[in-house]
Amino acid sequence: MTTEQKQLQLEGWSRRIADTIMGQCREDGFHDYPLERWAYVPGMLLMAMARAGKQLNEERYYSFMHRHMNHFVAEDGAIGTYTLEEYNLDQINQGKNLFMQYARTGDKRYAKAAHTLAAQLMSQPRTSEGGFWHKKVYPFQMWLDGLYMASPFLAEYGKVFERPELLDETAHQLLLIERRTRDKRTGLLYHGWDESGEQDWADSLTGLSPNFWSRAMGWYAMALVDCLEHFPVTHRQRGTIIGIFERMCHALVRVQEPSSGLWYQVLDQGERKGNYLEATGSIMFVYAMAKGLRLGYLSSGFRSAMLKGYEGIIGRLVTEDEQGVHLHGICNGAGLSKDRNGSFDYYISEAVVSDHYMGIGPLLLASLEVEHLLNA
């Protein structure tokens, strides 16, 4: 197959995925899943649809995000089902959609809702070095997941509302967790860090969880590229963030499965019994690399690894039928707590499912980035 034929096979998936999501709407135009509650996965799905609307020039995709967000954001800017005092970084993620709504409409209720979420971050509980706790109920814990949930929001908020000190704060969060969780031997990042050392899953000396979970690093990879988009070129830590992003991508390429181009659920354990090639981590790495290549954060040598990853996703994990596009090999969920100890056996024990929006949302985001890069 020629390079041109391969490229043609990789194009057009974003529209097919977006149309699949639209096809799952009720007769009134609403989709039940984003209406369930204000939460990070529905928020990511809505953001992916809005970006599809902009890139593919399809107003109906943007309108999908807009009407579902309006289900939660009241005329006075109050956010339905959201409670600031939970101090849960996951609850910030859906707020990323507010900036596009505010820019397009000028309606101050979206600004007010953004101010509320920013207020949470200003008073978020912190580690002794100023790192945001992942949640109030997870004291002194930083998880890679949380960097995606909150940091791009904080960076864009700082840019939109001319608060440059919040870009400094964003940089501090990104660099702190990388320094605390990076394994010097492999360059991979552990899922979580407990400063207090109180958690059963935390190493007694380092406070680190014991394994490298694919999706956790995927969240962090996406956080880096999405934050960098809002940093001015003169910011004193922009180059450092770009540097750790490239260093991390080298580590990811070293554990990329060579025949499929995908990544394992537990990144460094290869073909250990029970391990498997997981969809969401693989998709998130492709998204981050494609966007990093497009915006010049990564050297061109990563293009082949990124494309091989995307080819593996489409060729091995995606199917299509009369109902639309389907995604398989999705880890249903994983975390760190008393009954989720971060062991290898724990990560491979979580359910593997198809068509969860935890995977469909990132797949749409990654497809948009790959297509943008290929058509640049």
Alpha-carbon dihedral angle through residues 8, 330, 302, 248, given to the nearest 10 degrees: 170
State how far the Cα of 206 lies from the Cα of 190, in Å rounded to an integer: 11
What is the maximum alpha-carbon separation in the chain? 56
State how far the Cα of 290 lies from the Cα of 310, in Å rounded to an integer: 10
Classify the phi-psi angles of 324: left when phi > 0, otherwise alpha if psi is within -120 to 50, otherwise beta. left
Q: Look up tokens 């031997």; give the residue.
A: 185
The answer to whether residues 278 and 229 touch, using CB atoms and an 8 Å cutoff, is no
DSSP state of 358: H
Question: What is the set of active-site residues?
Answer: 145
State how far the Cα of 32 lies from the Cα of 349, in Å rounded to an integer: 28
The answer to whether residues 39 and 94 touch, using CB atoms and an 8 Å cutoff, is yes
Residue type, 22: M
